[in-house]
Structure 1
Amino acid sequence: MKSIAWVTDSTCTIDPEFARDHHIYIAPLRLVFGDECYKETIDITNDEVYQKLALHEKAGSSQPPIGEFVELYESLKDKYDEIIAIHCSSKLSGTYETSMQAAEMAETKVIGIDSNVGAFPLREMILKGVELQQQGHSALEIKQEIQYIIDHMEFFLIPASLQQLHRSGRVSGTQLVISNLLKIHLIIRFDKGKIIVQEKIRTFKKAKQKLMDYMKVDLEKMKSICIMHANNISEAKEIEKEIALHSPLLKVEIMTFIPVVGILAGEGTIGLSWINKYTK
């Protein structure tokens, strides 16, 4: 069995202890509040993120510096037979491209995977990859299997605030103005790595019901489902109860969003993601 190192970023939500035990190296994204910069999940907690959001109008995020990746690849290239780098969507962050450039600079052979997403689905891709590696599969075989997950996952968001999404260029000014004037809630969906506006709905209750409707379409073919929230556990538990009414045996997980999502979409944001069963 070949030894494999995994390189990813802090959007993966992998437990640090699991990462240490399974050769997963996590490069933290940066969170920026005014002139202050923090390493996501390392220098700042979720609670501190929302405290700072209340104080700073100017908040944002940035990818890990290329030098950090170069140093990491230099340290890994002689320790492992193969290296897999899997990162959050390249359509939303430059992290994947930076990681690949760093591997080239470090003269390190890397199998790169653009996950087209982040959070729960990215974590599941890595967990599946580790399982396959333990079964003796090569890095290329693992990449192929992960591509099946990429092609069969869904990810929806109801952002609590569009202001930050607008500032980051992920929601247009027209969408922001109309939503504010009419108090419209947007349902956002990941589509091949990009964020698209799936629906515009007048009330949060109706938006949440629409989210349930999308879920019901795939209910019979789901492998698992995850409810994600940005400091909104009460709403997440309500959604969990509703899912249980439709499919009491389905595995449901509640996950706190990584801080960068709270910055981009606002405190209170709710997300729903699942991976469908597939045949090769």
Structure 2
Amino acid sequence: MQKVAVVTDSASNLPAELVQRHHIFIVPVLLYLDGRELRDGVDITAGEIYRYMTASINNHLPKTASPSVGEFIRVYHIAAQNAEEIVSIHLSANLSAIYQVANLAKEQVPVKVHVVDTHTAAMGCGFAVLEAARLAEQGADAEAVIRRAREIAGKARVIAMLPRLDYLQKGGHVPAVAALAGSALKICPILTVAHDQARVVELPRTQERAVRRILEMLERDAKDRPVHVAVMHAGVPEQAEELRREVAERVQCVELFTTEFTPV
């Protein structure tokens, strides 16, 4: 029995092979599509969602919701079968209600659960989860695992390119005026997420320029130091692989993953 089991949610975007290899427990975010409740990564994959969105005549988007308290309790019970304590690591509480739901659930299970807000999102959170799980596998206690997760999350930076602002606007993630401006100007905004803040940092006019600027920003931030990088994509694996190769050529990667960004 390990001292600590590590739990996260599907919005951390961790590749499935890493989840399995490091025995990470995932609480799936919920999607509502055509009257059906679906669990992200269980009942439907990110790729299937993107194909649905592309084929939809009206660009219909699935609704999303945080996992229920009951789903957290179910996963906590499973994780507790082989661990003394649980460290539950999630994206920023400023960006989602998942952190609050996890805190409600932890009061209803017999095992000690520590809920960690990474103050970041996607693989920024994912890398914190991954390092926490690796440390837990080595027999570390909850305090050390939490400290490691917070350390990695504090260093993480998510850089995103958004060729389609209308999807985010429909999902309630950007104001309608911003989406209209993006559509009218044909811009491809670059956003960063770090320390609880998501902000637009540049407004390239084309996707090609946006990719070039992301690579330049990565090189600048790396400063010849070894880095951990994940290339996330929204249903475009070929473009992601091309970007992954460019990243590998430009910076010294300790590890370099490609993963599909879950639209939740």
When normalised by structure 2's length, the TM-score is 0.86
Q: Does 1:59 align with 2:62?
A: yes
Structure 2 match to 1:102: 105
Larger CA deviation: 188-197 vs 113-122: 113-122
Distance 1:97 1:80 in 2: 23
- What is the CA deviation profile of residues 32-71 of structure 1, one whole-angstrom value per residue up to 9, with x for unaligned ones? 2232221111111344212321225142321111112233
Q: Is the 8 A contact 2:90 2:116 kept in 1?
A: yes
Distance 2:61 2:218 in 1: 35
Q: Does 1:191 align with 2:190?
A: no
Structure 2 match to 1:224: 228
- What is the CA deviation profile of residues 65-93 of structure 1, one whole-angstrom value per residue up to 9, with x for unaligned ones? 11122333355557532110111222222
Q: Is the 8 A contact 1:227 1:252 kept in 2?
A: no
Structure 1 match to 2:11: 11
Structure 2 match to 1:45: 45
When normalised by structure 1's length, the TM-score is 0.81
- Secondary structure at the aligned position of 1:51 is classed as helix
When the two structures are aligned, how many residues end up with a matched partner? Answer: 260
Q: Is the 8 A contact 2:3 2:139 kept in 1?
A: no
Larger CA deviation: 184-193 vs 77-86: 77-86
- Secondary structure at the aligned position of 2:87 is classed as strand
Distance 1:22 1:224 in 2: 17
Unaligned runs of 5+ in 1: 262-280
Q: Is the 8 A contact 2:6 2:132 kept in 1?
A: no
Closer, same or farther: CA 80–224 of 1 in aligned 2, 3 Å:
closer
Q: Is the 8 A contact 2:159 2:193 kept in 1?
A: yes
- What is the CA deviation profile of residues 82-129 of structure 1, one whole-angstrom value per residue up to 9, with x for unaligned ones? 110111222222111101111113354211111233443333222322
Aligned partner of 1:242 among 239, 246, 252: 246
Shift of 1:206: 1.7
- Identity value in percent: 26
Distance 2:131 2:210 in 1: 32
Unaligned runs of 5+ in 2: none
- What is the CA deviation profile of residues 188-217 of structure 1, one whole-angstrom value per residue up to 9, with x for unaligned ones? 110223321111121222211211121111
- Secondary structure at the aligned position of 1:201 is classed as coil
Q: Does 1:259 align with 2:262?
A: yes
Q: Is the 8 A contact 2:22 2:133 kept in 1?
A: yes
Closer, same or farther: CA 134–7 of 1 in aligned 2, 3 Å:
closer
RMSD: 2.5
- What is the CA deviation profile of residues 140-196 of structure 1, one whole-angstrom value per residue up to 9, with x for unaligned ones? 111112211111111111123112312333212221121111111110110223321
Distance 2:2 2:79 in 1: 14
Pairing of 1:110-149 with structure 2 (within 5 A): 110-149=113-152
Closer, same or farther: CA 232–16 of 1 in aligned 2, 3 Å:
closer
Shift of 1:243: 2.8
- Secondary structure at the aligned position of 2:258 is classed as strand
